[in-house]
Amino acid sequence: MAVSLPPELLEILTCPNCSSGLAVDHDREELVCTGPSCGLAYPIQDEIPVLLVDEARKPERG
């Protein structure tokens, strides 16, 4: 299922942890921080981004 957030919203949303931009991961239905040292992934539930650091998934280290 593809995430459908208004483009205007995506332009102003930032990571609450590091203030970097967020990118949509349609496969996982998440907003992923684009910051080089952060990378937290925030869930989208019922088309509403849950931008809480405590609810974010930590990046996979590889």
**Domains in the chain with CATH codes:** 7-55 (2.20.25.10)
The pTM (predicted TM-score) of the whole model is: 0.88
Alpha-carbon torsion angle 33, 39, 42, 48, nearest 10? 10
Beta bridge partners of 49: 44
pLDDT confidence of residue 25:
93
pLDDT at 62 over 60: no
- Tell me the pLDDT tens digit for each residue of 25-54: 999 999 999 999 999 999 999 889 999 999
Tokens of 11: 């332009």
Tokens of 35: 């910051």
Report CA-CA distances (Å) from 27 to 1, 31, 52.
Answer: 7, 11, 20
Tokens 């919203």, residue located:
9
